[in-house]
Structure 1
Amino acid sequence: MLRRHPALAPSSQLTDYLLTTRTLQYIVVGLSFFVVVPLVTYTFYYPSFHSDICSWPSASRSPRDLRLLLFGDPQIRGADKSSSLRTRLDIFGNDHYLGHIYSTLLPRLRPSHVIVVGDLFSSQWISDEEFDLRTRRYKNRIFRHPSLYDTPTPVFLNLSGNHDIGYAHDVTDSRVRRFEKHFGQLNFVVTGDDFRIIGFNSMSLDGSLDDDDKGQASFTRDVRNFLEEQMKVNFIGTTILATHVPLHKQGGICIDQPYFTYYGEKSEQLIREQNMLSEESSQWLLNGFFGEGRARHGVIINGHDHDGCLVRHTMVKGEPRWNVAAIATGDTRYQYDYDNSDSSGVLEVTVRSMMGEYGGNVGLLKGTWNAAREDYIFTFSLCPFGKQHIWWATYVIAIICACASVIAFIGLPFLDEKTRGVFITGTMKPPILNCDPISHKSRNTIPVSPPTSGRQTPVNFFFSGGKAQKID
């Protein structure tokens, strides 16, 4: 029977050691199987767990179908020299959390268009250097080029939000220039065979035309002139209006209530903050694009209200006025068909924010081409990933398990072999030894000798310092 030197590893300690090692190995295996595997599976395949709302409708597909991925208010933050390590780590993790949502859905859904409905960044007051830094993070960490995912390149559209260029009275030439340099024009139109997407600077729409002290009036004139030109176009297809600020609604329809604040007196219309467009501007947009004598079917998409909302605007018969009503969908897909009396009117989709605290949401807007009617039937669903804690937990626990696996299956056995000593088995008459367990040295040493004749007793030797010490 092999035994160890009592001063180094008594049998009870060795047993405890072996139990501790095996226990750690069992814990690592159990944690990996019951925690890491489910977390990793959900994190990278979460659309499969929500297949009813995280996929396009299974109806027949046509090359003319529209497949829009809508991202609301990422509002990525920044750090400076005074920021703590925790803040920097949180920003780093948040970038990759948002990027994970995009990179998971893009190759899976292969959209025709990707639209970020404004508030790309968290503040319009940042310097040009910080704006450039966040732009690089936005493009390199979050919304990376589709070629990296081996998927067809969609049309990628970025709308300006109040945290990108400011509300009406805060919009300046420098803020507009730096936004348009990296993300394209504030006011634009993308036209297809049977549809058009019109994006515009909704922050300046309600601005004052007399607000010339810093040039804000020019932006208000620009957006109004642009929209008037598009209203005059004799377009018979489907119009999709893309705006950051939602249209006006009475209190209680959506989470956000009507809210407006101004610089100075209200009569000056120097807007400081607004939750939605004014009722006057909202009615003007609805009549101009969907009123009498125009194509009365289309969709309006926007963000700003982080909780999201889904409503339907219907025109009052015989009047150039529109009513609005909420659509209760729960966690299901909603189908909008303007020829159906239950869903007639204009659909307005306010996309719930993709920020972690709101659940990492993405809007899926599908326009299915109806060849018989030569127009689109739209469906919308909201696909949530979950709070950012899921992403953090997946990576942190996976790293811990990986480190624990190295220790349990490689490190501890390796250390055991190094500290166990070298044992041999021999036979000889047992002499009396005086061992000092404190100093770990034997006061009696014996040389290794051949077995003697007569009765032989098995003994063990521990080699130390070139001498063989008998182990009792």
Structure 2
Amino acid sequence: MRRRRRTTLSPASKLADYILTTFTVQLIALCLSIFVAVPLAVYTFYYPSFHPDLCSWPTPRSGPRDLRLLLFGDPQIRGPDKSSSLRTHLDLFGNDHYLGHIYSTLLPHLRPSHVIVLGDLFSSQWISDDEFDVRTRRYKHRIFRSKLGVSPEPVFLNLSGNHDIGYAHDVTESRVRRFEKHFGQLNFVVTGDDFRIIVFNSMSLDGSLNDNKNGQAGFTTDARNFLQDQMKVDFKGTTILATHVPLHKPPGTCIDKPYFTYYGEKSGGLICEQNMLSEATSQWILDGFFGNGTAGRGLVINGHDHEGCLVRHKLVDEGQSWSAVPITAGNKRYQHDYDNSAGSGVLEVTVRSMMGEYHGNAGLLSRTWNATAQDYTFTFSVCVFGAQHIWWATYVVAIISACALVTAFIGLPFLDEKARRIFVAGTMTPPILNSDAFKHYSSGHTFPVSQPPSGRQTPVNLFGGKAQKSD
């Protein structure tokens, strides 16, 4: 008779069978959740608490005149085209919610008085009106959602950028009209008891006053006349100039150096691109708002330079011109206190981009009353979330962890031992034939084998012959 032999598992199979038991799978799922998913989620949704020196206001709000400005630079929302793959659509979806996560996390944590997006809301001024409408819906409903349970809701300001309406000669009536339809005027002022925020179309300031082909002369005139009118106002409080294109600075002051390109002679040599305003325009703005000993009355905020920069503009040459003194630039965590005195010059804050490749930045600019100095003190810091991969990793790991927990604690316990071994280890140990029937293949008969009683036994020779007594 030939018995069916018990299959001998290889060492690797035995190890897998030992490790991948139900209990071990449950332990692995728990460890994945406790030591990976939970820490990622805690950091992702409470990251301002991990950097309180940079992601919180320096002092509690002490009065209604304190200002808390939450600044975002250049979200530059992209869009798909007809040839875009599923991966592109998924990336755009994730990018929207990554930017929205930064805003929705900081807003209830900071409760700012104002939120300002410093231009370049979208990635291109050349998109169609339909695509502009689509990106506007994404901007308002995915990223900068208004109903987030913050009361009172902050004043929300949107600046136009070169990728929204174009540079100088590229600004057209249709591009301006669609931007103003969804986001408000290009030039306007927001006033408070002792402050004013002046927003203006910086793309047209260096445009030609003689270019009437696309109506550029009208936009340049409007921007300059608007600023000229505000310069004439005898305003004693704090003036905050909000512009997209930064003021002029010499090479080496910031990471970006002055850069201008122009159209050919047939187009009159008009500006095609610029990363700063011209030196003449910058001097005119600084003189008009902060000259004659009033440098301590305000500051300038802007975007456009994705790397970010922080400088002070001081009067030199016996008050005849302005010079930029660098404070810091680039991807650095910093906090800067500004005493707002006339001798300190005019602070210019260029906010680093909030795009994922620049690690999701937000600028925190606050104004608080200094009782000792009997003046306002400004504090600026950059709150950095991190690369977009952190946001993706949090959700991917959370989904995997949830699936693992459901499988380990709900799925596996309902399987019998045989199915569980197959599901978990991929192998199944054959049963021991202590009470099963076994078959004599040569004769075709099946012989039952019963459980032997305890004690010394005499084995039975099933195939003839005298049995031997066992000691």
TM range (shorter): 0.7 to 0.9
Aligned counterparts of 2:409 and 2:441: Cα–Cα separation in 1: 34
Matched letter for residue 400 of structure 2: I
Aligned counterparts of 2:30 and 2:86: Cα–Cα separation in 1: 32
In the superposition, relative to structure 1, how do residues 420 and 134 fare at CA in structure 2: closer, same or farther (>3 Å)? closer
Contact 2:295 2:342 (8 Å CA) reproduced: no
Quick check: 1:74 aligned with 2:80?
A: no
Contact 2:313 2:325 (8 Å CA) reproduced: yes
Q: TM-score, normalised by structure 1?
A: 0.85
Structure 1 residue 139 displacement after superposition: 0.4
> The residue matched to 1:282 in structure 2 has which SS?
helix
Residue 202 of structure 1 corresponds to 202
Contact 1:71 1:354 (8 Å CA) reproduced: yes
Structure 1 residue 411 displacement after superposition: 2.4
Residue 104 of structure 1 corresponds to 105
Aligned counterparts of 1:435 and 1:120: Cα–Cα separation in 2: 82
> The residue matched to 1:137 in structure 2 has which SS?
helix
User: Which residues of 2 match residues 305-316 of structure 1 at below 5 A?
Assistant: 305-316=305-316
Matched letter for residue 118 of structure 2: V
Contact 1:237 1:375 (8 Å CA) reproduced: no
Structure 1 residue 328 displacement after superposition: 3.1
Contact 1:168 1:206 (8 Å CA) reproduced: yes
Aligned counterparts of 1:178 and 1:117: Cα–Cα separation in 2: 18
> The residue matched to 1:119 in structure 2 has which SS?
coil
Structure 1 residue 11 displacement after superposition: 13
> The residue matched to 1:327 in structure 2 has which SS?
strand
Structure 1 residue 59 displacement after superposition: 5.6
User: Which residues of 2 match residues 272-421 of structure 1 at below 5 A?
Assistant: 272-292=272-292, 294=294, 296-316=296-316, 318-328=318-328, 330-339=332-341, 341=343, 344-370=344-370, 375-416=375-416, 419=419
Quick check: 1:118 aligned with 2:119?
A: yes
Aligned counterparts of 1:269 and 1:433: Cα–Cα separation in 2: 100
Aligned counterparts of 1:58 and 1:37: Cα–Cα separation in 2: 31
Structure 1 residue 384 displacement after superposition: 0.2
Matched letter for residue 79 of structure 1: P
- Would you say how many aligned residue pairs link Structure 1 and Structure 2? 439
- The match for 1:433 among 422, 425, 439 is 439
In the superposition, relative to structure 1, how do residues 209 and 453 fare at CA in structure 2: closer, same or farther (>3 Å)? closer
Residue 425 of structure 1 corresponds to none
Gaps of 5+ in 2: 422-433, 458-471
Quick check: 1:176 aligned with 2:176?
A: yes
Structure 1 residue 434 displacement after superposition: 4.6
Aligned counterparts of 1:430 and 1:117: Cα–Cα separation in 2: 80
Matched letter for residue 114 of structure 2: H
Residue 465 of structure 2 corresponds to none
In the superposition, relative to structure 1, how do residues 111 and 266 fare at CA in structure 2: closer, same or farther (>3 Å)? farther
When the two chains are superposed, the root-mean-square deviation of aligned CA atoms in Å is 3.2
Structure 1 residue 435 displacement after superposition: 8.2
Contact 1:246 1:304 (8 Å CA) reproduced: yes
User: Which residues of 2 match residues 184-199 of structure 1 at below 5 A?
Assistant: 184-199=184-199
Structure 1 residue 232 displacement after superposition: 0.5
> The residue matched to 1:328 in structure 2 has which SS?
strand
Question: Residue deviations 1:378-408, cap 9 Å, x none?
Answer: 0000000001011011111111111122222
Contact 1:207 1:269 (8 Å CA) reproduced: no
In the superposition, relative to structure 1, how do residues 285 and 405 fare at CA in structure 2: closer, same or farther (>3 Å)? same
Question: Residue deviations 1:5-35, cap 9 Å, x none?
Answer: 9999999979954631344333222222221
Aligned counterparts of 1:445 and 1:340: Cα–Cα separation in 2: 107
Matched letter for residue 245 of structure 2: V
> The residue matched to 1:126 in structure 2 has which SS?
coil
Matched letter for residue 404 of structure 2: A
Residue 157 of structure 2 corresponds to 157
Contact 2:295 2:346 (8 Å CA) reproduced: no
Contact 1:287 1:320 (8 Å CA) reproduced: no
Gaps of 5+ in 1: 422-427, 437-442, 458-472
Structure 1 residue 89 displacement after superposition: 0.5
In the superposition, relative to structure 1, how do residues 220 and 366 fare at CA in structure 2: closer, same or farther (>3 Å)? same
Q: TM-score, normalised by structure 2?
A: 0.85
Contact 1:236 1:294 (8 Å CA) reproduced: no
Contact 2:360 2:384 (8 Å CA) reproduced: yes
Question: Residue deviations 1:285-327, cap 9 Å, x none?
Answer: 0000000164642110000000000000011253331111100
In the superposition, relative to structure 1, how do residues 215 and 64 fare at CA in structure 2: closer, same or farther (>3 Å)? same
Aligned counterparts of 2:163 and 2:349: Cα–Cα separation in 1: 20
In the superposition, relative to structure 1, how do residues 366 and 431 fare at CA in structure 2: closer, same or farther (>3 Å)? closer
Contact 2:107 2:150 (8 Å CA) reproduced: no
Question: Residue deviations 1:134-192, cap 9 Å, x none?
Answer: 000000010001x3233321110000000000000100001001100100100010001
Aligned counterparts of 1:230 and 1:130: Cα–Cα separation in 2: 35
Structure 1 residue 447 displacement after superposition: 10
Quick check: 1:57 aligned with 2:54?
A: no
In the superposition, relative to structure 1, how do residues 141 and 434 fare at CA in structure 2: closer, same or farther (>3 Å)? farther
Residue 43 of structure 1 corresponds to 44
Contact 2:108 2:148 (8 Å CA) reproduced: no
